[in-house]
């Protein structure tokens, strides 16, 4: 039984390590996504500022305004997509954290069973040793008693 438990412990450890690797990858993607979102947001702000500056300096044509607004609209769509991607990654990370906790719980459960089995074996061995010591003491007492009777 102990061999089986050690195999299960090893499998649970591997699963926990796999979960940690997946979490690290997801956190890396979140970091990259945050950078991309910041870049897109800054770019959108720069486009608005540029449009405003250009309009205040000498005006712009209606065609240019329409094209610029369409371009900024595409940037806004990209920002929204990036936010959705980050929300998905955050949900994924939460799920991965739960899976990691489950793997750790499973590993600890099996380790507790192994520890319990070791305590039980130690208790059995202690009882066996005590019984042998008692028998030895009884034998010595009989030998001494027999020697005193002679």
Tell me which residue of 70, 29, 72 sits closest to 50, measured CA to CA.
Answer: 72
pLDDT digit string, tens, across residues 23-57: 999 999 999 999 999 999 999 999 888 877 777 77
Tell me which residue of 119, 96, 125 sits closest to 20, measured CA to CA.
Answer: 96
Mean pLDDT of the chain: 90
Domains in the chain with CATH codes? 2-108 (1.10.287.1700)
User: Which tops the pLDDT comparison, 15 or 52?
Assistant: 15
User: Which tops the pLDDT comparison, 121 or 144?
Assistant: 121
Nearest-10 Cα torsion for 31, 91, 93, 76: -10
pLDDT at 49: 86
Contacts of 65 (CB under 8 A, 6+ apart): 51, 55
């Amino acid at each position: 039984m102990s061999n089986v438990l050690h195999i299960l412990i090893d499998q649970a450890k591997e699963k926990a390590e796999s979960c940690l690797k997946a979490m690290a990858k997801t956190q890396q993607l979140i970091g990259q996504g945050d950078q991309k979102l910041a870049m897109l947001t800054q770019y959108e702000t720069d486009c608005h500022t540029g449009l405003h500056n250009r309009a205040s300096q000498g005006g712009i044509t209606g065609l240019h305004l329409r094209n610029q607004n369409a371009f900024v609209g595409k940037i806004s769509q990209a920002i929204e997509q990036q936010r959705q991607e980050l929300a998905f990654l955050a949900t994924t990370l939460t799920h991965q954290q739960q899976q990691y906790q489950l793997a750790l719980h499973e590993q600890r459960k099996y380790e507790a069973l192994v520890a319990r089995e070791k305590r039980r074996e130690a208790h059995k061995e202690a009882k066996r040793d005590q019984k042998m010591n008692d028998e030895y003491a009884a034998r010595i007492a009989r030998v001494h008693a027999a020697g005193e009777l002679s």
